[in-house]
Every structure is written in structure tokens, then in C-alpha cells.
Chains A and B, each alone.
Chain A
Amino acid sequence: MTIRRLPEGTVNRIAAGEVVERPASVVKELVENAIDAGATRIDISMAGAGRDLIVVADDGVGMTRDELVLAIERHATSKLPDDDLVRIEHLGFRGEALPSIGSVSRMTLSSRARGSDAAWQLQVEGGRVSGPQPASLPGGTRIEVRDLFFATPARLKFLKTDRSEAASIAEIVKRLAMANPLVGFTLREGEREVFAYLSSSGADASRDRLAAVMGRDFADNSVAVAVERDGVRLAGFAGLPTMNRGNAQAQYLFVNRRPVRDRLFTGAIRGAYQDLMSRHRHPVVALFLDLPPDAVDVNVHPAKAEVRFRDEQLVRGLIVSAVRRALAEAGHRASSTVAAEASAAFRTGSQGAFYGPAGRANGSSGLAEAAAAFQHQAPPGAQTGQHDPDGFAPASRTTEATTGSAQHYPLGAAVGQLHETYIVAQTEDGLIVVDQHAAHERLVYERMKKALLSGVARQGMLIPEVVEMDEGAVGRVLARAEELAELGLVVEPFGGGAVIVREQPALLGEVDLKGLVRDLADDLAEFDDATTLTERLNDVCSTMACHGSVRAGRRMTADEMNALLREMEATPNSGQCNHGRPTYIELQLPDIERLFGRR
């Protein structure tokens, strides 16, 4: 067998294997080209989930006849003006997309360069080029891809169902749309419009686009993140912990406006939300990281889904601290989705529970019970003092005097206690129901955590524990030795394949150090973050907090309740318990009015 150079067509198909994996990758490449071409609106249509037809049309700068011919050559691009792979400022740069797509489909490119009066068109079929011919096009570029993968039938067999291929096309376009609020996007499937995002400008452009893509809920229930450190800028929005999901799909990171999936990011987000929600829930975030092109290497993945940062620690630290700070500033806010669920429960309560047990089954959530309890109460929105004291703690009567002055606080003035478990407070424009145990537990926990920050006590090991691991794990753990020492765990190298634990966090008492260190090594590999240790420490705090806090079933005086509300306002993250459940719900007056059909 002799070594030979592969023909151009085969080379392109091999390249296509990396770049063009499924219809969504075609859409990604073409839309990125359109964005790089300075388009202000991009129209995408597809048929047969992109298998039969993909059309991407933009109003960008367009190409001249000669450029058009060159564009379908491999490694031909306009995006690396000075051949510098370190400073990459465009989404594309490899010059692979068009020839790769052309080699596995029937592609028609039409383009009219800005300022030119003629449009040109070119056909590529399975890598064979014909044209260019004159064409008619008002401006910009239009690329039509038919019969994708007809030249590589094997690939067709690996495609998923139409539904999931179409969904991933929509997902790709959404991601690109989130990162480019100034560009309008429409996606059509056949005749049906899947979505259309208008191009917007102005200060709120980014927020408006995120709201359009991720839904109004996200816009209402997220806090803005904006920091800059050492030339790295992080902006975007972090969802409140009470708005969480079962998977990490709704976590978006854009590096220099390029959507990426990165384990560093996943780990940093996990770290930032660490004790705000259960390990099995995932927050919703959209963050834009802008850093000098030479601080990040995007050329590590053919589809550019991963990136490498020159200073990973800086990026991670920035994300964790910025998100934590933003969430802490949000303080006691719980998401309004919770209140929406609550008022939904109220509604089922008034329709069903009134007439019989069927309503309970209907309402299903525990809030139906609260609703039932409310039926005994005065009409919501009425002034205090008229309600039937039955079911309210007697404290309600004593609060009347203080109600007026305390009402302007965000969490309002306590008007009473329900079932010795929930505090009801009246605010200027609504009603708050607080779970007294969850709220107090969080307050005690936050206080303990603060104490923990001032220094973790370390118990020296009389008989140091030797932990044997593979060398990679040893390296990972030792590389973070300083950080671990701050958390109370002092490790030193011990031969090639082991570390020795010299001191341990006193808080943990007698503990399985081997297991702890090995878990840490796994954590570092998976998330690049020593979350296990902080979690273990926080677990101890949270157990102590649980025992040290006011239980459900304890009667509280008005002063106690108001003090709790005031402390919640002053404490970061008091809007949810350690597992991401809300500590209180808020019903706005309009919500209440809607319940009574007044609106």
C-alpha cells in the first residue's frame, strides 16, 4: 500500500465530518457568516428539519464575483486579515464552512456586494462547482442548501428524528440571536414562522432580546450582572435561585459573543449557586464574557463549542464572585413565578375546595391548603382590623398600630401568623406569606457561613492520612492546595501517587479523609472547582442552622415576626432556603384583584 495525497473532494468531506455534523451545524456556520458580514437581519428557513432545505438570507456586505468563487475554496476567508490566529475577532475564521457544506449537499450561493449593481450566483453539488452566473438579488447574500448529506448517505443514518433536528436548529439560532441583539432573526419551517426577533437597539437591547428568547419570566426573575476586571468584562443576567430547572440546558455563556459550552462555566455556575439550591436543580443564566481576543483560544474545537482561556482562574473567579454578588444584592427577592403558581393555586382553591374535596386533588399543590385557610379570612386587600380572628394568631390585633409605619418596608408589616407556621405580612402593594422555619433557617445559616468565612479552624493530624490516587488526581489536588488550606484542609505531596493530609477542618470532626480528598479530585476534574469541601462545610452549617432556628408550630409575637421580616430584608439570599425553595411568596394587589375578577 502506498501513501498518496487524498483528492480535494475527499479532504473536504473529511473536513465536513468535523464541521457539518447535522443540519444545525450548517445553520450555525451560515448564520455566523451572516453575522460576520454585518447583517442587520437574517432570515432562516428550513424544510424537512433542514435535511431537504436550508436557506439563510442576510443583508450584509455581500461578495463580489471573484470573492464568490474564492469563498468555496478550502481555507479561503475574509476574516483573518493579517493571518493572526491569536487575535480572532470574527465568529468564523477557519475558512472551512462553505466548501465543507458544498461537498455534502447541493448548495446555491447568491450574493451582491454592497455598492455593486450586479448579483452573482454559484452552484456546488457534492463538491463540483458550476458558475458563476449572473443572478438577481437586492443585496446581501443568500445561501440555499438542498439535500444535505446526499453525498454522504452514511451520515443521514445518524441523524435524529425530524423533531429533534429541528429543535436543535432553533436552539442554535436562539443562541446566536441572544448574542446579537442588534440583528433581527426570523426562523421559518416551511410556511410556519417558528420565531421572529426584531432587531432592537438602545440600552436594554440585550435584556429585551433575552426576554424574547428565554421568556418574560427570565427577564422578571433575574438580576443583572456587570463587572469588569483586568480587561475581562462579564455582563448578562443570572436567574433567581427560586427559578430553577431540572437540567443545565438553560445556562448560556457567550465568549466574545460566541455561544460556547464549557465545563469551566458549568463549574463556576454550580459554585456560584452552590448553597442556594439543591444539587439536583440547575439555575437559569445568560452571561456574556468579553475579553481581549488574545486572552482566549477559540481554535480548539472545529465547531468552536469549546474555548480555552489563558487565565482560567481569573475567569472562574470573576463569574463566581459576580454572580454571587448580584444574587446577594437581590437579597430576599424570590421569583414571581412562585407567586404566579400561588395565585393559580388560589384560583383552584376558590373553584374546587369550596365545594368539596375534589378541589384539593385539583389544586394538588400544598398551597391549596393555604387557600382553603384563606377562605376564612377577610377579603385580601381590605385593611387590617376587620378580619375574623379565628385562625390568626392573637398577635394580629396588636400589630394594627405598627402596620402603618412598617408597611413601606419591602416585606411589609406582619399582620398575623397562620397555623403557627406562616407569617402573613401586608406591604404597600400586596401581601407576603413567609415560611417562618425556612426563613429563619436561612438567616441562621447565612450568619454561620459568614463566621466560616472569617477563618476555618483546622485540627492538626497527629497521624496524618495518606491518600493514594493516580498522578493526575494528585496534581489537581496539589495545584489547589492553597485554596484548600483556606477551607481548612492542608495537603502536601507524598511521593508520586499520593497526598498526605496534615490538617483537616475542625468543623467536620472525625471524617473519612480518603473519601473527601478523592471526591475533591473528581470535582476538580469535572467542574474544576473544590465544591465538595465547601459543600461539606456548608452541610454542617446547615444542619446546625436547622436545629438552631425557629420551628414551624411556634407561636410568634408581632415584634418577633417583624424582626424576622426586617432581618430577611437585610440578609443576602434570604429569598430561598438552602434547597432553592422560596422562603416567602408575594401576591401583588393586582394579582389579588384578578382573583376576585376585579380586573
Chain B
Amino acid sequence: MADTSLIRRAVTARSQLFLILLVLAAILVPVLNLAVPAGSFFHLPSYAVSLFGKYLCYALLALSVDLIWGYCGILSLGHGAFFALGGYAMGMHLMREIGSRGVYGDPLLPDFMVFLNWQELPWFWHGFGSFPFAVLMALLVPGVLAFIFGWFAFRSRVTGVYLSIITQAMTYALMLAFFRNEMGFGGNNGLTDFKDVLGFNLQSDATRAGLFVVTAAALAGGYLLCRWVVGSKAGKVLVAVRDAESRTRFLGYKVEHYKLFVFTLSAMLAGIAGALYTPQVGIINPSEFSPANSIEIVVWVAVGGRGTLVGAVIGALIVNGAKTLFTGWFPEIWLFALGALFVVVTLFMPQGVLGLARGQGGLAEGAKRALAFLEQAGIKRKGTGS
């Protein structure tokens, strides 16, 4: 028998711990980079600031996937698309900010347009000279796409693996479209060579530290928003949909409206993550739309622990940290390691890292599952042998 009041208290304690750690990171990372002299042992190199900033963007992206997958059972394998669209919206602003400092020195057209012999700015590039407009688009474009996509998918009651497949198709189609030069988003090179944002030089340490702090704040805000949603009565309806969709319908809830709401909200969070990603990484290109990227996000969430929010963040940090280290040490085996990680987590740690940390049966249960699995495999082998 689970004592739920205990769980509830543990969740708030976990939220507080998470937010405290986030604030600490937002203070320590800039201080160790800017205030500690470069020779010191405690000095944090500038590339690490951007790297950690990128991790936090991924954490926000993972949070958005956990909101729909963990709490409403919508397994999106195309969330990378919303992230990339947010990234492109910000990238377009940063391109316009370059102005006449580009290689070709054209005051109006970005380099790639000059290169393609375009005479004027395409209509959809207008407005991106304004930073607030770009931020608005980073929210609205993913939001509107998710709304239209979800409107058709949820109204037609497309669920489970079929929904996952069409989300993959969506991000794949967008990738192919963005690869084309005629689309006007820089083709396969994407958007890059950014100079500054709001007048701050993107190469300077202070700007990078500032972006890190802004990203940490966005992650904290996104977390609090998600926590509020899942803690509300509507959040309980989302879990009800996940557990017994038809029962929820027969109680009078329009399941498709709830799904549409949470899917759109999630896409907008992913868009914000993308908008913060572009200036810190310095490039946005169509590979961000690749289906494999979207699948990787789901792996982060599964590793951290689905349906916990904090778990999604932990998973994103662990897997991406490991990716940075592994791809540095043995680049060839990273994909195998990632695949193995996903298999191990789904088979033996259904609650992810947080499930292990919770202790109650986490490890023991995992070991039991592992034994059962091996036993079964053994029997199967014997079966085929005889």
C-alpha cells in the first residue's frame, strides 16, 4: 500500500532540491568562469559554459517530452522538430543582427542569400530583425504546428505507435524541406556565423555566462509551469487519459482537447529550448530535425525516469554528459552505448534513475527483472538447442 501523502511530500522536497541546485549552478558556473583567474584549478573554461548551457537546453526539451509522454502517454518521436523550429526562429534573428558584417557585406541579405543570387528578403524573413518578434515566433511557430498536427491526430483518435510514427514522419518531412536551398533557411548549412544578440558579442565570456543564466532561469520556469500543470486537476485528467482513456471519455472529458492542450504547451517549451540552444551552439541546421535526434530525447526521459519531470532533466544531463565524454574517448562506439543504455533501462529500470534512487524495490526489482530475463533467454536457448 503506497502512502500517497508521503510521496507528495517527497515530490515537493525533490522540487525544492532541484531548484536549489539549479540556482547554485546559475551562480557557480558564471563565477568560476568569469571571476576565477584562468590559471586556477577552479577556473571553468569558456567552452564548458556553452556546453553546460547546451545541456540545460536539452534538459528543457526533455522536460517538454516528459510532460506529454510521462503524464499523458503521448509518445512523440518528433519533438526535435519543435526544438529546431524554435532554434531557427532565433537563428533568423541572429542572422539579421549580422547586418553588413557578413562575408559579402550586404546590409539586408544574409550571406547565403547573396550567394544564391537572391535580390530581396523573402516575406517570411520580415520581422525577424526584432528580437521580441523572434522570441514570439519561437513560441508560436512550434505551438501552431503542434496545434494543427494534434488537431487532426487526436480528433481522429490516432494513438500509441501510430501516433509515434506520424510524428517521426513530420520531423523527417521538415528535415527534407529545410535541406532545400529554395526554402530560404540556408539549406544544409543552416544558419551560422552569428555575431551578437541584443548588442552583446556572442564570443565574449560574459555573454556566454549570461546565456547560461537565462537558460537556467528558463529551465526553472519551465519546470515550475509543468509542475503546476501536472499538479492541477487538469493534470490529474492527463494521467487519467494515460491510464484509462475510454473511462476518461465516459466520465465526460473531451480527451482530444486535453491532449491538444498539453501537446501544444509541450511544443512551445521545446521551441524555447531551441531558441536558447542556437546562440549558445552558434549554429542551427536541418540535422536538428533528424528522426534520430527525436528518439534520443525519449531515451533521456526514459533513463532519468518517466513521469517525474526531475527525472527528465537528470536523464538529459546524464546521457549528454556521457555522450560528450564517450564521443571524445571512443567516438565509434557511442551509438552502440546509447542503444545498449536504452535496452538496459527499458528492460531492467522501468522507473529510470529516479526509480533506483527512490530505493523501494528499484534496484532489487531491476535485479529480479534481469534474472528473469536471463532465465527466459536461457530456456529459449535450451529450447532451440534440443
A interacts with B: no
Binding site for A on B (CB under 8 A): none
